[in-house]
Structure 1
Amino acid sequence: MSRDLKKAKSIDLPESVLKDIPGALRSAVAILLDKKQKANKGRITLVYVIELPNQPDKYGKLIVDTDYKSKTGFKGNGVISGGIVARSNLKSQTLYEVIEGSL
């Protein structure tokens, strides 16, 4: 979630979020269903939307893949990615369905 490419583009999540992912998930202002993942791959992928201090035009997001299957055989739910996006990117009704909260 915090790699050089994201840092170079300034879209990496703040260290405070990465140090407390369970807290960030609990404090999400909205939970979205990723319609594209469901349509293309039949997967249920949730986007947890997080408000970021001093960034009124952006949201943090944590991507949770349900029924995740790793290369080592692990099965479960897991945070697979995260980053910072413009608020407008998450408001697309074509890509996302709000299941809880609001944007």
Structure 2
Amino acid sequence: MSRYDIEPLAFGRLKTVDLHARGGKVRLEHLARPYEKGGGVAGLLESLPRLLAADDLKALVEAILEARRRGRAILWGMGGHVIKCGLGPVIIDLMERGLVTGMAMNGS
């Protein structure tokens, strides 16, 4: 006996679909691969899955590199947590490498 007033689940109208017939969006070639030692950042990016946020990250990296090749400004917007969490040295390194040419930060 339950202290909650819950009706039992009714499975009478449940519709099932054969997994082989339904298809899907993710294929084997989209899956991540283990990173190979010595692959560097390019190898790390290539090892990521080919979907969702990993694709967005790869597109961001390519856009930053393309802007650098063309001598365009690379502006970053960020909050205080980036510095608070210890990423200051990384941001400085990116600036020295020409991958950050300007920043907009909040007042935190």
Query: Same fold judged by TM-score > 0.5?
Result: no
TM-score, scaled relative to structure 1: 0.30
**More helix per residue:** 2
**More strand per residue:** 1
Q: Which has the higher contact order (CA 8 A, sep 6+)?
A: 1
TM-score, scaled relative to structure 2: 0.29
